Amino acid sequence: MTDWVPFPDDVAARYRELGYWTGETFGQFLADRAARFADRVAVVDDRQRWTYRELDERATRMAHGFVARGIEPGDRVVVQLPNVAEFLSVVFGLFRAGAVPVFALPPHRSSEISYFCSHTDAVGYVIADKFGGFDYRVLADQVGVREVFVLGDPGRHTALDDVPVDPSGELPTVDPSGLAFLQLSGGSTGVPKLIPRTHDDYLYSVRESADICGLDTSSVYLVALPVAHNFPMSSPGILGALHAGARIVLASAPSPDVAFGLIERERVTITGVVPPIALVWLDAVATRSEDLSSLRVLQVGGAKFAEEAARRVRPELGCGLQQVFGMAEGLVNYTRFDDDEDLVAISQGRPISPDDELLVVDSDDVPVAPGEVGHLLTRGPYTIRGYYRADEHNEVAFTDGYYRTGDLVRVLPSGHVVVEGRAKDQINRGGEKVAAEEVENHLIAHPAVHDAAVVAVPDPFLGERTCAFVVASGEVTGPQLRAFLRERGLAAYKIPDRVEFVAEFPHTGVGKTSRRDLRRALGGR
Protein backbone atom coordinates (compact mmCIF):
# COMPACT_ATOMS: atom_id res chain seq x y z
CA MET A 1 0.00 0.00 0.00
CA THR A 2 1.46 3.37 -1.01
CA ASP A 3 0.65 6.36 1.19
CA TRP A 4 0.28 8.76 -1.68
CA VAL A 5 0.97 8.98 -5.39
CA PRO A 6 3.64 11.53 -6.35
CA PHE A 7 3.63 13.19 -9.77
CA PRO A 8 5.69 11.25 -12.34
CA ASP A 9 9.31 12.49 -12.44
CA ASP A 10 9.18 13.84 -15.98
CA VAL A 11 5.95 15.70 -15.28
CA ALA A 12 7.35 17.16 -12.07
CA ALA A 13 10.50 18.24 -13.89
CA ARG A 14 8.37 20.03 -16.47
CA TYR A 15 6.33 21.87 -13.84
CA ARG A 16 9.59 23.03 -12.25
CA GLU A 17 11.02 24.12 -15.59
CA LEU A 18 7.89 26.12 -16.31
CA GLY A 19 8.34 27.88 -12.98
CA TYR A 20 5.11 26.51 -11.53
CA TRP A 21 6.83 24.64 -8.75
CA THR A 22 9.37 26.83 -7.02
CA GLY A 23 10.68 24.63 -4.22
CA GLU A 24 9.28 26.90 -1.51
CA THR A 25 7.82 25.22 1.60
CA PHE A 26 4.94 26.63 3.63
CA GLY A 27 7.34 27.33 6.49
CA GLN A 28 9.60 29.41 4.23
CA PHE A 29 6.60 31.03 2.56
CA LEU A 30 5.43 32.53 5.86
CA ALA A 31 8.96 33.57 6.88
CA ASP A 32 9.46 35.32 3.57
CA ARG A 33 6.13 37.19 3.70
CA ALA A 34 6.76 38.08 7.36
CA ALA A 35 10.08 39.64 6.37
CA ARG A 36 8.42 41.65 3.60
CA PHE A 37 5.22 42.69 5.36
CA ALA A 38 6.42 42.58 8.98
CA ASP A 39 4.32 45.31 10.58
CA ARG A 40 1.25 44.96 8.43
CA VAL A 41 -1.74 43.25 9.99
CA ALA A 42 -1.91 39.64 8.81
CA VAL A 43 -4.93 38.29 10.66
CA VAL A 44 -7.86 39.56 12.68
CA ASP A 45 -10.47 37.59 14.60
CA ASP A 46 -12.97 38.27 17.40
CA ARG A 47 -10.28 38.56 20.03
CA GLN A 48 -7.01 39.50 18.40
CA ARG A 49 -5.10 41.23 15.65
CA TRP A 50 -1.67 39.90 14.68
CA THR A 51 0.94 41.43 12.42
CA TYR A 52 2.87 39.29 9.94
CA ARG A 53 5.82 39.31 12.33
CA GLU A 54 3.66 38.19 15.22
CA LEU A 55 2.08 35.39 13.22
CA ASP A 56 5.52 34.24 12.12
CA GLU A 57 6.84 34.22 15.70
CA ARG A 58 3.80 32.39 16.99
CA ALA A 59 4.12 29.77 14.27
CA THR A 60 7.77 29.18 15.15
CA ARG A 61 6.90 28.90 18.83
CA MET A 62 4.16 26.39 18.02
CA ALA A 63 6.60 24.40 15.88
CA HIS A 64 9.07 24.12 18.76
CA GLY A 65 6.23 23.19 21.08
CA PHE A 66 5.03 20.41 18.79
CA VAL A 67 8.57 19.08 18.44
CA ALA A 68 9.00 19.17 22.22
CA ARG A 69 5.81 17.12 22.56
CA GLY A 70 7.31 14.46 20.34
CA ILE A 71 5.64 15.34 17.04
CA GLU A 72 8.09 14.12 14.42
CA PRO A 73 8.55 14.96 10.74
CA GLY A 74 5.89 13.21 8.69
CA ASP A 75 3.56 12.71 11.68
CA ARG A 76 -0.10 13.36 10.94
CA VAL A 77 -2.00 15.73 13.23
CA VAL A 78 -5.75 16.25 12.86
CA VAL A 79 -6.67 19.94 13.12
CA GLN A 80 -10.27 20.82 13.95
CA LEU A 81 -10.55 24.50 14.81
CA PRO A 82 -13.18 27.17 14.23
CA ASN A 83 -12.32 30.41 12.43
CA VAL A 84 -9.73 31.74 14.86
CA ALA A 85 -6.29 33.27 14.32
CA GLU A 86 -4.69 30.27 16.05
CA PHE A 87 -5.67 28.16 13.06
CA LEU A 88 -2.84 29.89 11.22
CA SER A 89 -0.21 29.67 13.98
CA VAL A 90 -1.05 26.00 14.55
CA VAL A 91 -1.00 25.00 10.90
CA PHE A 92 2.21 26.90 10.09
CA GLY A 93 3.68 25.54 13.33
CA LEU A 94 2.93 22.02 12.15
CA PHE A 95 4.41 22.76 8.71
CA ARG A 96 7.61 24.01 10.34
CA ALA A 97 7.75 20.96 12.58
CA GLY A 98 7.56 18.89 9.38
CA ALA A 99 4.23 17.45 10.51
CA VAL A 100 1.26 16.89 8.21
CA PRO A 101 -2.00 18.61 9.21
CA VAL A 102 -5.20 16.72 8.44
CA PHE A 103 -7.93 19.31 7.93
CA ALA A 104 -11.18 18.40 9.67
CA LEU A 105 -14.22 20.71 9.71
CA PRO A 106 -15.98 21.91 12.88
CA PRO A 107 -19.17 19.85 12.26
CA HIS A 108 -17.27 16.56 12.12
CA ARG A 109 -18.01 14.20 14.98
CA SER A 110 -16.69 10.87 16.25
CA SER A 111 -17.53 8.95 13.08
CA GLU A 112 -15.42 11.22 10.87
CA ILE A 113 -12.69 12.14 13.39
CA SER A 114 -12.06 8.51 14.44
CA TYR A 115 -11.70 7.60 10.81
CA PHE A 116 -9.26 10.45 10.04
CA CYS A 117 -7.19 9.49 13.07
CA SER A 118 -7.08 5.78 12.38
CA HIS A 119 -6.67 6.03 8.62
CA THR A 120 -3.72 8.42 8.95
CA ASP A 121 -2.29 6.94 12.21
CA ALA A 122 -2.52 10.45 13.62
CA VAL A 123 -0.44 11.14 16.73
CA GLY A 124 -2.02 14.51 17.49
CA TYR A 125 -5.37 16.28 17.47
CA VAL A 126 -5.81 20.05 17.81
CA ILE A 127 -9.19 21.38 18.96
CA ALA A 128 -10.88 24.34 20.61
CA ASP A 129 -12.40 23.57 24.02
CA LYS A 130 -15.93 24.48 22.92
CA PHE A 131 -17.46 25.89 19.79
CA GLY A 132 -21.04 26.20 18.62
CA GLY A 133 -22.28 24.68 21.88
CA PHE A 134 -20.19 21.54 21.41
CA ASP A 135 -17.41 20.33 23.72
CA TYR A 136 -14.60 19.00 21.53
CA ARG A 137 -12.71 17.64 24.57
CA VAL A 138 -15.41 14.99 24.90
CA LEU A 139 -14.84 14.07 21.27
CA ALA A 140 -11.09 13.90 21.92
CA ASP A 141 -11.71 11.46 24.78
CA GLN A 142 -13.84 9.25 22.53
CA VAL A 143 -11.29 9.25 19.75
CA GLY A 144 -8.22 8.64 21.89
CA VAL A 145 -5.20 10.22 20.19
CA ARG A 146 -1.77 10.36 21.85
CA GLU A 147 -1.42 14.16 22.01
CA VAL A 148 -4.46 16.42 22.28
CA PHE A 149 -3.84 20.19 22.11
CA VAL A 150 -6.67 22.45 23.19
CA LEU A 151 -7.28 26.12 22.46
CA GLY A 152 -8.87 27.41 25.67
CA ASP A 153 -9.53 25.32 28.76
CA PRO A 154 -7.65 22.06 28.15
CA GLY A 155 -9.33 19.87 30.76
CA ARG A 156 -7.02 16.86 31.14
CA HIS A 157 -5.22 17.62 27.85
CA THR A 158 -2.49 20.09 26.87
CA ALA A 159 -3.35 23.77 26.42
CA LEU A 160 -2.01 25.22 23.16
CA ASP A 161 -0.65 28.09 25.24
CA ASP A 162 1.25 25.66 27.46
CA VAL A 163 3.14 23.67 24.86
CA PRO A 164 6.73 23.75 26.03
CA VAL A 165 9.02 26.03 24.08
CA ASP A 166 12.69 25.40 23.49
CA PRO A 167 13.66 27.89 20.80
CA SER A 168 17.20 26.50 20.77
CA GLY A 169 15.84 23.23 19.44
CA GLU A 170 16.28 22.44 15.76
CA LEU A 171 13.41 22.42 13.32
CA PRO A 172 13.62 19.88 10.53
CA THR A 173 14.33 20.53 6.86
CA VAL A 174 11.13 20.07 4.87
CA ASP A 175 10.91 18.71 1.31
CA PRO A 176 8.83 21.06 -0.88
CA SER A 177 7.74 18.22 -3.15
CA GLY A 178 6.77 16.07 -0.16
CA LEU A 179 3.38 15.67 1.46
CA ALA A 180 2.37 18.98 3.08
CA PHE A 181 -1.14 18.26 4.37
CA LEU A 182 -4.23 16.15 3.87
CA GLN A 183 -7.38 17.90 2.73
CA LEU A 184 -10.81 16.27 2.79
CA SER A 185 -12.74 15.14 -0.21
CA GLY A 186 -16.49 15.50 -0.35
CA GLY A 187 -16.30 11.95 -1.58
CA SER A 188 -18.82 9.53 -2.95
CA THR A 189 -17.59 6.38 -1.23
CA GLY A 190 -18.31 4.63 2.06
CA VAL A 191 -15.49 6.36 3.91
CA PRO A 192 -14.24 9.90 3.31
CA LYS A 193 -11.18 10.22 1.10
CA LEU A 194 -8.10 12.17 2.08
CA ILE A 195 -6.31 14.36 -0.43
CA PRO A 196 -2.51 14.57 -0.29
CA ARG A 197 -1.22 17.99 -1.37
CA THR A 198 2.42 19.09 -1.63
CA HIS A 199 4.00 22.48 -0.88
CA ASP A 200 5.02 22.84 -4.53
CA ASP A 201 1.68 22.12 -6.11
CA TYR A 202 -0.51 23.95 -3.61
CA LEU A 203 1.59 27.11 -3.47
CA TYR A 204 1.49 27.29 -7.25
CA SER A 205 -2.32 27.37 -7.13
CA VAL A 206 -2.18 29.92 -4.30
CA ARG A 207 0.12 32.36 -6.12
CA GLU A 208 -1.87 32.15 -9.34
CA SER A 209 -5.18 32.51 -7.46
CA ALA A 210 -3.97 35.62 -5.64
CA ASP A 211 -2.98 37.07 -8.99
CA ILE A 212 -6.23 36.16 -10.77
CA CYS A 213 -8.22 37.61 -7.86
CA GLY A 214 -6.20 40.81 -7.85
CA LEU A 215 -4.93 40.59 -4.27
CA ASP A 216 -2.35 43.11 -3.07
CA THR A 217 -1.37 44.76 0.20
CA SER A 218 -4.54 46.85 0.15
CA SER A 219 -6.80 43.78 -0.01
CA VAL A 220 -8.80 42.54 2.95
CA TYR A 221 -10.06 38.96 2.64
CA LEU A 222 -13.01 37.88 4.80
CA VAL A 223 -13.11 34.19 5.75
CA ALA A 224 -16.85 33.54 5.90
CA LEU A 225 -16.70 29.75 5.31
CA PRO A 226 -14.92 27.26 7.60
CA VAL A 227 -11.26 28.22 7.23
CA ALA A 228 -10.01 24.66 6.75
CA HIS A 229 -12.04 24.17 3.56
CA ASN A 230 -10.09 24.40 0.34
CA PHE A 231 -12.05 27.40 -0.96
CA PRO A 232 -11.27 29.89 1.86
CA MET A 233 -7.84 28.33 2.31
CA SER A 234 -6.48 28.79 -1.18
CA SER A 235 -8.92 30.22 -3.70
CA PRO A 236 -7.32 32.71 -3.02
CA GLY A 237 -8.27 32.46 0.63
CA ILE A 238 -5.99 32.92 3.60
CA LEU A 239 -2.91 31.64 1.81
CA GLY A 240 -3.48 33.90 -1.19
CA ALA A 241 -3.90 36.80 1.22
CA LEU A 242 -0.61 36.00 2.98
CA HIS A 243 1.12 35.62 -0.37
CA ALA A 244 0.08 39.15 -1.32
CA GLY A 245 0.60 40.85 2.05
CA ALA A 246 -3.13 41.34 2.43
CA ARG A 247 -5.17 41.21 5.63
CA ILE A 248 -7.22 38.19 6.71
CA VAL A 249 -10.41 38.74 8.68
CA LEU A 250 -11.95 35.64 10.24
CA ALA A 251 -15.73 35.57 10.73
CA SER A 252 -17.13 33.22 13.35
CA ALA A 253 -20.24 32.77 11.17
CA PRO A 254 -21.32 33.75 7.66
CA SER A 255 -24.58 35.37 8.78
CA PRO A 256 -25.22 39.00 7.72
CA ASP A 257 -25.14 39.93 11.42
CA VAL A 258 -21.54 38.83 11.76
CA ALA A 259 -20.21 39.15 8.21
CA PHE A 260 -21.73 42.52 7.29
CA GLY A 261 -20.47 44.04 10.53
CA LEU A 262 -16.95 42.83 9.77
CA ILE A 263 -17.09 44.02 6.17
CA GLU A 264 -17.92 47.50 7.44
CA ARG A 265 -15.48 47.53 10.35
CA GLU A 266 -12.48 46.05 8.52
CA ARG A 267 -13.21 47.52 5.07
CA VAL A 268 -13.27 44.02 3.54
CA THR A 269 -12.58 43.99 -0.21
CA ILE A 270 -13.14 40.32 -1.14
CA THR A 271 -14.79 37.24 0.30
CA GLY A 272 -15.90 33.79 -0.84
CA VAL A 273 -19.19 32.09 0.00
CA VAL A 274 -21.34 29.15 -1.09
CA PRO A 275 -24.60 29.83 -3.00
CA PRO A 276 -27.02 29.59 -0.03
CA ILE A 277 -25.03 32.22 1.86
CA ALA A 278 -24.95 34.45 -1.21
CA LEU A 279 -28.76 34.13 -1.36
CA VAL A 280 -29.10 35.08 2.31
CA TRP A 281 -26.86 38.12 1.78
CA LEU A 282 -28.80 39.16 -1.33
CA ASP A 283 -32.10 38.92 0.52
CA ALA A 284 -30.78 40.70 3.61
CA VAL A 285 -28.91 43.61 2.10
CA ALA A 286 -31.87 45.90 1.36
CA THR A 287 -32.90 46.03 5.02
CA ARG A 288 -29.41 46.39 6.53
CA SER A 289 -27.63 49.55 7.49
CA GLU A 290 -23.98 48.37 7.32
CA ASP A 291 -21.72 50.05 4.80
CA LEU A 292 -20.60 47.36 2.34
CA SER A 293 -19.06 49.81 -0.12
CA SER A 294 -15.51 48.47 0.42
CA LEU A 295 -16.49 45.08 -0.99
CA ARG A 296 -15.24 44.77 -4.54
CA VAL A 297 -15.66 41.05 -5.20
CA LEU A 298 -18.05 38.40 -3.98
CA GLN A 299 -16.78 34.97 -4.94
CA VAL A 300 -19.38 32.22 -5.10
CA GLY A 301 -18.50 28.54 -5.44
CA GLY A 302 -18.75 25.06 -3.95
CA ALA A 303 -22.06 24.40 -5.69
CA LYS A 304 -23.82 25.73 -8.74
CA PHE A 305 -24.88 29.37 -8.43
CA ALA A 306 -28.13 29.91 -10.32
CA GLU A 307 -27.93 32.41 -13.16
CA GLU A 308 -30.83 34.49 -11.80
CA ALA A 309 -29.05 34.89 -8.47
CA ALA A 310 -25.74 35.62 -10.21
CA ARG A 311 -27.35 38.52 -12.07
CA ARG A 312 -28.53 40.08 -8.79
CA VAL A 313 -25.08 40.44 -7.25
CA ARG A 314 -23.86 43.68 -8.85
CA PRO A 315 -27.17 45.63 -8.67
CA GLU A 316 -28.07 44.52 -5.14
CA LEU A 317 -24.76 44.08 -3.33
CA GLY A 318 -22.89 46.69 -5.33
CA CYS A 319 -19.85 44.51 -5.99
CA GLY A 320 -18.55 42.27 -8.73
CA LEU A 321 -19.24 38.54 -8.86
CA GLN A 322 -16.58 35.91 -9.39
CA GLN A 323 -17.74 32.34 -9.87
CA VAL A 324 -15.39 29.66 -8.56
CA PHE A 325 -15.62 26.00 -9.54
CA GLY A 326 -13.00 24.16 -7.56
CA MET A 327 -12.26 20.90 -5.83
CA ALA A 328 -9.94 19.98 -2.99
CA GLU A 329 -8.37 17.41 -5.34
CA GLY A 330 -6.91 20.30 -7.33
CA LEU A 331 -8.44 22.01 -10.35
CA VAL A 332 -9.89 25.45 -9.68
CA ASN A 333 -11.72 27.61 -12.25
CA TYR A 334 -12.45 31.31 -11.89
CA THR A 335 -14.40 33.77 -13.98
CA ARG A 336 -12.02 36.64 -14.68
CA PHE A 337 -12.61 40.30 -13.88
CA ASP A 338 -12.51 41.22 -17.58
CA ASP A 339 -15.04 38.55 -18.62
CA ASP A 340 -18.26 40.05 -19.89
CA GLU A 341 -21.23 40.04 -17.56
CA ASP A 342 -23.12 37.25 -19.34
CA LEU A 343 -20.15 34.91 -19.13
CA VAL A 344 -19.81 35.61 -15.41
CA ALA A 345 -23.52 34.93 -14.92
CA ILE A 346 -23.67 31.64 -16.79
CA SER A 347 -20.26 30.03 -16.43
CA GLN A 348 -18.22 28.70 -13.54
CA GLY A 349 -14.98 30.13 -14.89
CA ARG A 350 -11.89 28.82 -16.60
CA PRO A 351 -8.89 27.00 -15.13
CA ILE A 352 -6.04 28.67 -13.28
CA SER A 353 -3.26 27.20 -15.37
CA PRO A 354 -2.52 26.93 -19.10
CA ASP A 355 -1.36 23.43 -18.17
CA ASP A 356 -4.62 22.35 -16.57
CA GLU A 357 -5.82 19.63 -18.92
CA LEU A 358 -9.58 19.22 -19.12
CA LEU A 359 -11.08 16.23 -20.89
CA VAL A 360 -14.84 16.01 -21.39
CA VAL A 361 -15.86 12.45 -22.24
CA ASP A 362 -18.93 10.24 -22.66
CA SER A 363 -19.55 7.16 -20.53
CA ASP A 364 -17.12 5.17 -22.72
CA ASP A 365 -14.36 7.72 -22.07
CA VAL A 366 -14.60 8.98 -25.65
CA PRO A 367 -14.22 12.77 -25.88
CA VAL A 368 -17.52 14.47 -26.72
CA ALA A 369 -17.80 17.08 -29.47
CA PRO A 370 -16.68 20.56 -28.35
CA GLY A 371 -19.46 22.25 -26.39
CA GLU A 372 -21.30 19.01 -25.61
CA VAL A 373 -21.97 17.88 -22.05
CA GLY A 374 -19.82 15.08 -20.68
CA HIS A 375 -17.84 13.80 -17.70
CA LEU A 376 -14.99 16.06 -16.64
CA LEU A 377 -11.55 14.47 -16.23
CA THR A 378 -8.60 16.65 -15.33
CA ARG A 379 -4.89 16.63 -14.62
CA GLY A 380 -2.39 19.39 -14.19
CA PRO A 381 0.24 21.07 -12.02
CA TYR A 382 -1.85 21.12 -8.85
CA THR A 383 -4.27 18.20 -9.26
CA ILE A 384 -3.51 15.08 -7.25
CA ARG A 385 -2.61 11.76 -8.86
CA GLY A 386 -4.27 9.65 -6.18
CA TYR A 387 -5.95 9.77 -2.77
CA TYR A 388 -4.07 9.03 0.44
CA ARG A 389 -3.82 5.30 1.28
CA ALA A 390 -6.51 4.35 -1.22
CA ASP A 391 -4.85 2.09 -3.81
CA GLU A 392 -8.05 0.31 -4.73
CA HIS A 393 -10.21 3.39 -5.09
CA ASN A 394 -7.46 5.16 -7.03
CA GLU A 395 -7.80 2.51 -9.74
CA VAL A 396 -11.28 3.79 -10.53
CA ALA A 397 -10.88 7.48 -9.63
CA PHE A 398 -7.78 8.10 -11.79
CA THR A 399 -6.95 7.15 -15.37
CA ASP A 400 -3.67 8.13 -17.10
CA GLY A 401 -3.09 10.63 -14.32
CA TYR A 402 -6.50 12.20 -14.94
CA TYR A 403 -8.78 12.66 -11.95
CA ARG A 404 -12.39 11.71 -12.62
CA THR A 405 -14.23 14.64 -11.05
CA GLY A 406 -17.70 13.09 -11.23
CA ASP A 407 -18.96 16.43 -12.57
CA LEU A 408 -20.90 16.82 -15.81
CA VAL A 409 -19.77 19.91 -17.70
CA ARG A 410 -19.58 21.57 -21.07
CA VAL A 411 -16.76 23.84 -22.16
CA LEU A 412 -17.48 27.06 -24.05
CA PRO A 413 -15.29 28.25 -26.94
CA SER A 414 -13.70 30.74 -24.51
CA GLY A 415 -12.53 27.82 -22.36
CA HIS A 416 -15.04 28.61 -19.64
CA VAL A 417 -16.67 25.65 -17.95
CA VAL A 418 -20.39 25.34 -17.32
CA VAL A 419 -21.29 22.78 -14.65
CA GLU A 420 -24.39 20.93 -15.84
CA GLY A 421 -24.77 18.27 -13.19
CA ARG A 422 -23.07 15.41 -11.46
CA ALA A 423 -22.54 11.73 -12.06
CA LYS A 424 -21.11 10.85 -8.64
CA ASP A 425 -23.22 9.47 -5.79
CA GLN A 426 -22.85 12.61 -3.79
CA ILE A 427 -25.33 15.18 -2.54
CA ASN A 428 -24.18 18.80 -2.72
CA ARG A 429 -26.05 20.37 0.15
CA GLY A 430 -25.30 24.02 -0.49
CA GLY A 431 -21.59 23.31 -0.88
CA GLU A 432 -21.44 20.73 1.91
CA LYS A 433 -20.78 17.39 0.27
CA VAL A 434 -22.52 14.24 1.47
CA ALA A 435 -21.40 10.86 0.14
CA ALA A 436 -24.50 8.69 -0.33
CA GLU A 437 -22.68 5.46 0.47
CA GLU A 438 -21.24 6.76 3.73
CA VAL A 439 -24.70 7.61 5.08
CA GLU A 440 -26.20 4.39 3.69
CA ASN A 441 -23.59 2.33 5.57
CA HIS A 442 -24.60 3.98 8.82
CA LEU A 443 -28.30 3.41 8.11
CA ILE A 444 -27.79 -0.24 7.27
CA ALA A 445 -26.11 -0.71 10.65
CA HIS A 446 -29.53 -0.21 12.28
CA PRO A 447 -31.10 -3.60 13.13
CA ALA A 448 -34.47 -2.61 11.64
CA VAL A 449 -33.01 -1.45 8.33
CA HIS A 450 -32.78 -4.00 5.54
CA ASP A 451 -31.46 -1.62 2.88
CA ALA A 452 -30.97 2.11 2.35
CA ALA A 453 -30.35 4.47 -0.56
CA VAL A 454 -29.59 8.15 -0.13
CA VAL A 455 -30.40 10.56 -2.96
CA ALA A 456 -30.53 14.31 -3.61
CA VAL A 457 -33.82 16.21 -3.55
CA PRO A 458 -33.86 19.59 -5.35
CA ASP A 459 -34.16 22.48 -2.91
CA PRO A 460 -34.62 26.17 -3.75
CA PHE A 461 -32.30 27.33 -0.96
CA LEU A 462 -29.58 24.70 -0.56
CA GLY A 463 -29.72 23.52 -4.18
CA GLU A 464 -30.10 19.98 -2.87
CA ARG A 465 -31.13 18.25 0.31
CA THR A 466 -30.78 14.59 1.23
CA CYS A 467 -33.50 11.98 1.24
CA ALA A 468 -32.88 8.49 2.60
CA PHE A 469 -35.04 5.73 1.12
CA VAL A 470 -35.24 2.87 3.56
CA VAL A 471 -36.47 -0.70 3.24
CA ALA A 472 -37.26 -1.62 6.84
CA SER A 473 -37.07 -5.12 8.26
CA GLY A 474 -38.64 -4.12 11.59
CA GLU A 475 -40.39 -1.31 13.43
CA VAL A 476 -38.55 2.00 13.06
CA THR A 477 -39.44 5.63 12.37
CA GLY A 478 -37.65 8.42 10.50
CA PRO A 479 -36.87 10.41 13.66
CA GLN A 480 -35.49 7.25 15.30
CA LEU A 481 -33.16 6.69 12.36
CA ARG A 482 -31.98 10.27 12.41
CA ALA A 483 -31.28 9.99 16.16
CA PHE A 484 -29.45 6.71 15.50
CA LEU A 485 -27.14 8.41 12.99
CA ARG A 486 -26.42 11.22 15.43
CA GLU A 487 -25.56 8.69 18.13
CA ARG A 488 -23.15 7.04 15.73
CA GLY A 489 -21.29 10.36 15.63
CA LEU A 490 -22.12 11.42 12.10
CA ALA A 491 -21.75 15.14 11.32
CA ALA A 492 -25.13 16.91 11.46
CA TYR A 493 -25.03 18.02 7.81
CA LYS A 494 -24.96 14.36 6.74
CA ILE A 495 -28.12 13.39 8.65
CA PRO A 496 -30.83 12.91 5.99
CA ASP A 497 -33.25 15.82 5.72
CA ARG A 498 -35.99 13.39 4.86
CA VAL A 499 -36.58 9.65 5.36
CA GLU A 500 -38.98 7.71 3.12
CA PHE A 501 -39.91 4.09 3.75
CA VAL A 502 -40.49 1.87 0.73
CA ALA A 503 -41.28 -1.83 0.34
CA GLU A 504 -38.46 -2.39 -2.12
CA PHE A 505 -36.03 -0.48 -4.34
CA PRO A 506 -36.39 -0.05 -8.08
CA HIS A 507 -33.53 -1.77 -9.89
CA THR A 508 -31.44 -0.98 -12.93
CA GLY A 509 -30.93 -3.46 -15.76
CA VAL A 510 -28.04 -5.14 -13.97
CA GLY A 511 -29.88 -5.27 -10.67
CA LYS A 512 -28.32 -2.30 -8.89
CA THR A 513 -30.51 0.03 -6.85
CA SER A 514 -31.71 2.70 -9.26
CA ARG A 515 -31.14 6.05 -7.60
CA ARG A 516 -32.53 7.71 -10.68
CA ASP A 517 -35.88 5.98 -10.25
CA LEU A 518 -35.86 6.86 -6.57
CA ARG A 519 -35.25 10.52 -7.36
CA ARG A 520 -38.04 10.35 -9.90
CA ALA A 521 -40.37 8.78 -7.34
CA LEU A 522 -39.74 11.77 -5.09
CA GLY A 523 -40.85 14.10 -7.83
CA GLY A 524 -44.25 12.43 -7.72
CA ARG A 525 -44.67 12.83 -3.96
Binding site for ligand OOB (CB under 6 A): 185-186, 230-231, 235, 301-304, 323-328, 332, 348, 405, 407, 419, 422, 428, 431, 433
Q: CB nearer to ligand OOB: give 33 or 422.
A: 422
Nearer to ligand OOB, 250 or 427 (CB): 427
Q: What is the 3-state secondary structure (H, E, C) of 380-446?
A: CCCCCCCCCCCHHHHHHHEECCEEEEEEEEEECCCCCEEEEEECCCEEEECCEEEEHHHHHHHHHCC
Least distance in Å: CB of 431 to ligand OOB?
A: 6
Are the beta carbons of 357 and 332 closer than 8 angstroms? no
Question: CB of residue 116 vs ligand OOB: minimum separation in angstroms?
Answer: 16
Q: Toward ligand OOB, which CB reaches closer, 269 or 323? A: 323
Instruction: Indicate the residue whose CB is closest to ligand OOB.
Output: 326
Minimum CB distance to ligand OOB smaller for 332 or for 345: 332
Of 323 and 513, which has the nearer Cβ to ligand OOB? 323
Residue 65 CB partners (closer than 8 Å, separation 6+): 93, 163, 164, 165
First to last CA, the chain: 47
Q: Where are the beta strands (DSSP E) in 96-200?
A: 100-103, 124-128, 130-131, 134-135, 147-151, 158-159, 179-184, 194-198
Alpha carbon of 357 to those of 157, 159, 203, 323: distances in Å?
Answer: 47, 46, 19, 20
Q: How far is the CB of 186 from ligand OOB (least distance, A)?
A: 5
Which is closer to ligand OOB, CB of 179 or CB of 423? 423
CB neighbourhood size of 317 (10 A)? 17
Residues 6 or more apart whose Cβ sits within 8 Å of residue 388: 3, 4, 119, 120, 182, 193, 194, 195, 196
Supply the DSSP symbol for 507: B
Nearer to ligand OOB, 120 or 235 (CB): 235
Q: Which is nearer to ligand OOB, 33 or 433 (CB)?
A: 433
Cβ 188 to ligand OOB shortest distance, Å: 10
Number of neighbouring beta carbons within 10 Å of residue 241:
27
Return contacts of 201-204, CB within 8 angstroms, 24+ apart. 201/7, 201/15, 201/21, 201/330, 201/381, 201/382, 201/383, 202/234, 202/239, 202/382, 203/22, 203/24, 203/26, 203/29, 203/239, 204/15, 204/20, 204/21, 204/22, 204/353, 204/381, 204/382
* Shortest distance, position 229 Cβ to ligand OOB, whole Å: 6
We find the least distance from the C-beta atom of residue 213 to ligand OOB, in angstroms, to be: 11
Distances 28 to 22, 34, 60, 79, 119 between C-alpha atoms, Å: 12, 10, 11, 21, 29
Looking at the Cβ atoms of 92 and 325, the one nearer to ligand OOB is: 325
Taking the complex as a whole, the smallest distance from the CB of residue 273 to ligand OOB amounts, in Å, to 10
Give the residue with the Cβ less far from ligand OOB, 145 or 324. Answer: 324
Q: Taking the alpha carbons of 179, 327, 409, 394 in that order, is the dihedral positive or negative? A: positive
* Tally of CA atoms within 13 A in the half-sphere of 195 that contains its CB: 22
The closest alpha carbon to 297, from 228, 230, 215, belongs to: 215
Q: Smallest distance, Å, CB 423 to ligand OOB? A: 10
C-beta of 394: minimal distance to ligand OOB in Å?
A: 17
Q: How far is the CB of 405 from ligand OOB (least distance, A)?
A: 5
CB-wise, 158 or 383, nearer to ligand OOB?
A: 383
- C-alpha 342/C-alpha 310 separation (Å) is 10
Residue 27 Cβ, how far from ligand OOB at the closest point, in Å? Answer: 23
